Structure 1
Amino acid sequence: MNLLKSAASVSAMTLLSRVTGLVRETITARLLGAGSESDAFFIAFRIPNLLRRLFAEGAFSQAFIPILSQTAAAEGRPVAIELARRVSSLLFLVLLLITLAGCLGAGWVVLGMASGLQPGSEQFELTVTLTRWMFPYILLISMVALASGLLNTFRSFAWPAFAPVLLNVSFIVGALVLAPHMPQVSMAFAVSVMVGGVLQVLVLWWGLQRNGCWINPLAGMSRLGLAWADPQVRRVLQNMVPATLAVSVAQISLIINTNIASHLTPGSVSWISFGDRLMEFPTALLGVALGTVLLPSLSAAATRSAEEYSRLMDWGLRLTVVLALPSAVGLGLFSDALVSILFHYGRFEAHDVHMTSQAVVAYSVGLLGLVLIKILAPGFYAKQDIRTPVKIGIGVVVATQLMNLAFVPLFDHAGLPLSIGLGAMLNALILFMGLRKRGLYTPKPGWAAYWLRTVAASAFMAVVLVLANQHFDWIALRAEPVLRIVWVLLVIAAAGVVYFAALAVMGLTPRKLIRKPA
């Protein structure tokens, strides 16, 4: 198996997803700006996204993929597919009930997510309406997560990585075609979310059929008794309980932060959300891509060889550090330029650029930790140890909220992402120490020199970005948007060349950086 090729395939598709996602966010910022309507949309969209991470991509993947991988290896592909069919039927039923409850109780859900909104106000009613429109997205995206897990287990990574592109395309089309005919732009985006969810389900189910893994959760509804009696299904469900707790820890922190932001200056939720989109770009390209590829690989290696397991982990961590550290430096030093070329159009004003830039800088402090978690946590999941990340996560949530008490009064809305970033760094450190203490991971020699070279190369890159910021007024270049885009891209390219050239001079050539584990 070529791990690098698989990771590159996922990264390429994820890059396409993130590029179209940034186009989506550019259009959103242009049409909505950063105010009451945009806050209403982001709060409403955050609710199904939170549940998606809680039940689908997070807890479900962590509980399902290791067991599915082991079943496929021990009992064969047909048995693994049958397990997926039975799990899909139970998952569909549970999420259908949750979706119905969420649509009926949307008002209570909004109050729980954003207590700063005043019941009866225009913004509150809009948020409730948007929530009802988009809540069924969790059902669609959960079926996407199941199909993605099955395809990833059988080493078909491209289709799951491509699926999010369809949501972004749906957004873009909705903004261009549907928005001019709707009373509010946010309603057009809500419709786009649902259309995008349907498209993702259709494409991945087609991908399953092409790979001979066809499953139909509706067909299995009449055989729920058999599914419940299956010991492997019960193992998945049992593992989902601590996995749900593990993921919910982070989501609880997100709910608290959204509540806090809803009490701050109007636009705070939007500024943080736009900053989050920029932060997710490197997080997805690096953490999600490597984590997606490593989890099934680590699960298989865990049953074969402790040494192979440790080598895979070391490879993932080295690749993460050498790419995530300069990304963090770039986001922190070049935030004004990045926010300007992406969002500074239409109703998105210079003040919004400054506020969003503050959130981006705050996120950049913890970017390395956010990415490392995507690599370190699968190290526990591959061993079917989900309880340890839960315990760590609970402590990190407490620490994050304590940091909010200090940072929000000092930095207003930027204090929230700063607490998240520092909490992620703490989380990654404790996960790393846990793997080391249990003897699951033994770092290969040369890490100290590796860190020094990466930090030194990042410093050279930082000089390029600082000089560019002194030379250009990125906000004033709004009058010449094409020229601004050209200059930003040229500076990014120059910074990248300087970084990798510095690494090469210090002995870290591209071939050495991406060399797969032996």
Structure 2
Amino acid sequence: MSASSPESESTVAPPRRGLMRSGLVVSAMTMLSRVMGLVRDVVVAMLLGAGDGADAFFVAFKIPNFLRRLFAEGAFNQAFVPVLSEYSSGRDRREVRALLDAVAGSLTAILALVTALAMLAAPWLIWVFAPGFGREPEKLAMTADMLRLTFPYLLLISLTAFSGSVLNTWSRFAVPAFTPVLLNLSLIGAALFLMPLMQEPAMALAWGVLIAGVAQLAFQVPFLYRLGLLPTPWPNFAHEGVRRILKLMVPALFGVSVSQINLLLDTILASLLAAGSVSWLYYSDRLVELPLGVFGVAIATVILPALSRRHAEQSGAHFAAMLDWALRIVLLVGLPAALALAVLAEPLLITLFHYGAMTDNDIQMAAMSLRAYAFGLVAFMLIKVLAPGFFARQDTKTPVKVGIVAMVANMVFNLILIWPLAHAGLALATALSAFLNAGLLGYLLHKQGVLVFQSGWGRFALQLVGGSVLMSVALYWAAPEWHRWLAFGLWQRVGSVLGLVALGGGIYAAWLLLLGLRPRHLRMQA
């Protein structure tokens, strides 16, 4: 990597833009990524269904993907962005460049070692993450072979996340938000073109993951170069900024990624249940990830750098107003999205996945876990916007305490609910622990005087709840009974879903407008 660039002498301070505008940019790019992700899952479901090959790939991909969310987009991002924001606000370009060089080099060194060890220990990792596979030696061996291909993705995507954090700090949100599209395109291409060439079709998807990691990192490099922020990686663990980031990362591993750890626990326990349980949870989780990623993660992405700058400037009132704004935005989207997913669970799953090897029973089983996950969608979103309230102030100890409580609660809920509800009990346990997590985070922020509720919450609650209830009732009465969807053709399914979405969205928007909510009420300056 070269350190030079056309903008190497430009000002280091990032520009400031409206949070709503930035959030819409991230949402649009993320929506494109999620749509392509659904197309990817439709292709995979059609070609692999919910059998052993699909289960093996989902576990082999979930391990590095889980660690990506835990380290790269979780603990690292939440520790790195506040420190980088502080450097960019109060130090010169030379110091910022030295920080980027040291962080990039140190991150590469650590993850290269972890990747090499994981590839050597692949079978043992499968035993840890999916112990039920140990009962089937062939399935275990196939999953281990896939993991050796997918695990280097952690190194590549972590460097991509590093690049994305820099671009987000400089308000270049579109590029990092678009980057995941390349993963989906790679997997779709692997499924369509490599799968017919493979003795084990699912192995083609593992190659697709590796190819995607290279493509995503390469895509962001030119944009860093144009900003004059392309680092020359060189490990330097003695650098003051690196030491601070590492110190913040250790507790942040739990604080920001509890929901991902809970999902992983679901996979471990699901591997002990009936064949297909891992896949049912995966397909239902994918649908919940659509609104969570498009709106919850988008808002969290844009507020973290903004909150970090406000904390560095000691602007407490604006900090509190940003958090309040973020809560309203995610509730405005999260509650109706959760209700719509619950009401339309089978129609959505049939439209997206009921092709090829996917059976009617798979749809029914996935719908059970989808409704359980949908119950927790609002809590998942709230965690995304409440956690930055701590990390922006470089407080990682409080979220870790909350995270440990939520993890223990999730384990207890799992043990209670897995017996009567099987895989759906695992999803419900994750949702319940998410509410506990979000509730504790909100309570502590409010107790510390950081989260201060602004005026207008009573009227907002009437707008939100009334519109969501009206929308849900309309969808329930308008949607055909789910068995009828099985006889629909592809375009009839797609048209019916789009019609229901338009109906529900129209009723919800009309109610909000009727009660006085206007676009200007949703704006917030960074």
- TM-score of Structure 1 vs Structure 2, range by shorter chain: over 0.9
The change in CA–CA distance for 1:145 and 1:364 in structure 2 (over 3 A counts) is same
Q: Which moved more, 1:141-150 or 1:244-253?
A: 244-253
Residue 21, structure 1, aligned to residue 43, structure 2: no
Residue 440, structure 1, aligned to residue 450, structure 2: yes
Distance 1:57 1:393 in 2: 17
Residue 343, structure 1, aligned to residue 353, structure 2: yes
Distance 2:184 2:204 in 1: 13
| Equivalent in the alignment of 1:104 | 120
Distance 1:453 1:261 in 2: 39
Distance 1:130 1:356 in 2: 25
Aligned pairs for 1:121-200 within 5 A = 121-200=137-216
| Equivalent in the alignment of 2:388 | 378
Distance 2:240 2:496 in 1: 59
Distance 1:179 1:252 in 2: 31
Query: Taking structure 2 as the reference length, what is the TM-score of the superposition?
Result: 0.94
Q: Tell me which of 229, 246, 253 is aligned to 2:238.
A: 229
Q: Which moved more, 1:120-129 or 1:288-297?
A: 120-129
| Equivalent in the alignment of 2:497 | 488
Residue 295, structure 1, aligned to residue 311, structure 2: no
Residues 445-497 of structure 1, C-alpha deviation per residue, up to 9 Å, x if partnerless? Answer: 1212211221111111011211123456454234x111111011111111100
Q: Secondary structure at the match of 2:479?
A: helix
The change in CA–CA distance for 1:473 and 1:248 in structure 2 (over 3 A counts) is closer
Aligned pairs for 1:468-483 within 5 A = 468-470=478-480, 473-478=483-488, 480-483=489-492
Residue 209, structure 1, aligned to residue 221, structure 2: no
Counterpart amino acid of residue 212 in structure 1: G
| Equivalent in the alignment of 2:523 | 515
Distance 1:350 1:475 in 2: 11
Q: CA RMSD in A?
A: 1.5
| Equivalent in the alignment of 2:404 | 394
Distance 1:139 1:471 in 2: 46
CA drift of 1:293 comes to: 0.3
Give yes or no for contact 1:317–1:375 (8 Å, CA) kept in 2: yes
| Equivalent in the alignment of 2:9 | none
Q: Secondary structure at the match of 2:237?
A: helix
Q: Tell me which of 509, 513, 525 is aligned to 1:500.
A: 509
Give yes or no for contact 1:396–1:423 (8 Å, CA) kept in 2: yes
The change in CA–CA distance for 1:407 and 1:178 in structure 2 (over 3 A counts) is same
Counterpart amino acid of residue 457 in structure 1: G
Distance 1:121 1:202 in 2: 37
Give yes or no for contact 1:350–1:475 (8 Å, CA) kept in 2: no
Residue 263, structure 1, aligned to residue 295, structure 2: no
Residues 283-336 of structure 1, C-alpha deviation per residue, up to 9 Å, x if partnerless? Answer: 001111100100000001112210010111111111111111100000111111
Residue 403, structure 1, aligned to residue 413, structure 2: yes
Residues 169-203 of structure 1, C-alpha deviation per residue, up to 9 Å, x if partnerless? Answer: 01111111111111122111001101111000000
| Equivalent in the alignment of 1:416 | 426
Unaligned runs of 5+ in 2: 1-16
Residues 328-367 of structure 1, C-alpha deviation per residue, up to 9 Å, x if partnerless? Answer: 0001111111111110111011111111111110001110
Q: Which moved more, 1:386-395 or 1:232-241?
A: 232-241
| Equivalent in the alignment of 2:54 | 38
CA drift of 1:118 comes to: 2.3
Distance 2:129 2:481 in 1: 43
Distance 1:185 1:508 in 2: 51
Residue 363, structure 1, aligned to residue 373, structure 2: yes
Counterpart amino acid of residue 151 in structure 1: L
Give yes or no for contact 2:259–2:434 (8 Å, CA) kept in 1: no
CA drift of 1:278 comes to: 0.4
CA drift of 1:38 comes to: 0.9
Distance 1:355 1:146 in 2: 38
Give yes or no for contact 2:255–2:387 (8 Å, CA) kept in 1: no
| Equivalent in the alignment of 1:85 | 101
Residue 453, structure 1, aligned to residue 463, structure 2: yes
Residues 220-263 of structure 1, C-alpha deviation per residue, up to 9 Å, x if partnerless? Answer: 2xxx3xx2222122111111111124346444433332221001
Distance 2:416 2:458 in 1: 33
CA drift of 1:23 comes to: 0.4
Distance 2:262 2:523 in 1: 37
CA drift of 1:141 comes to: 0.5
Give yes or no for contact 1:119–1:125 (8 Å, CA) kept in 2: no
Distance 2:150 2:168 in 1: 27
Distance 1:511 1:470 in 2: 37
Counterpart amino acid of residue 234 in structure 1: R
Counterpart amino acid of residue 482 in structure 1: W
CA drift of 1:403 comes to: 1.0
Counterpart amino acid of residue 9 in structure 1: V
The change in CA–CA distance for 1:78 and 1:18 in structure 2 (over 3 A counts) is farther
Q: Secondary structure at the match of 1:477?
A: coil
Query: Taking structure 1 as the reference length, what is the TM-score of the superposition?
Result: 0.96
Q: Percent identity?
A: 43
Distance 2:59 2:484 in 1: 29
